[in-house]
Amino acid sequence: MENPWRKLSGKLIYENPWISLEEHQVINPRGGEGIYGKVHFKYKALAIIPLDEELNTWLVGQYRYALNEYSWEIPMGGGPLDVDILESAKRELKEETGLTASKWENILRIHTSNSVTNEEGFIFLAQDLTEGETQFDSTEDLAIRKLPFHVAIEMVMNQEITDSLSIAGILKLARLLKL
């Protein structure tokens, strides 16, 4: 389908190492003039569901500054745009949980908040796991929790997990596993 929006002009409003914010003057699909703000992410979002032979998984808990609340999530992070997303996912899994996996499957591609950002996310299933040492980033203070996958599903349903990548990934995998 052809893009019904017409960009008249645009300017950079703000930029840091992770995002940039642009303001665009536009003609909207109904022909009116308007303004549009766009957040551009400099990394791809990636999340991993580690799953062992007994259908256990791992969650990561951390305080999320932007939300001002604690959050339980599947392991996740950002992958530079010029690096293979699977390699970034492998790095994140090791960093946050100490796990490595010999079997990987990309189970979901997702756009987060697509009305204001072009962020693209990928969710991987990681299996054939080996436990090791974590390698947290200097900014991370994480708790790690191993639990049965069905408990993670219940945490989603009870709104104990509210992160969108975690919800989408857990529910997609539950469907794939027919749980």
Cβ atoms of 63 and 106 within 8 Å: the answer is no
Residues 32, 54: one domain? no
Q: Which domain range does residue 26 map to?
A: 6-41
| Sheet of strand 120-130: strand arrangement | 76-80, 43-50, 120-130, 100-111
Residues 35, 91: one domain? no
Residues 25, 69: one domain? no
Structural domains in the chain (count): 2
* Residue pLDDT, tens place only, 89-134: 999 999 999 999 999 999 999 998 899 999 999 999 999 999 999 8
CATH of the domain at 47: 3.90.79.10
* Residue pLDDT, tens place only, 4-14: 999 999 999 99
Alpha carbon distance 33, 8 (integer Å): 9
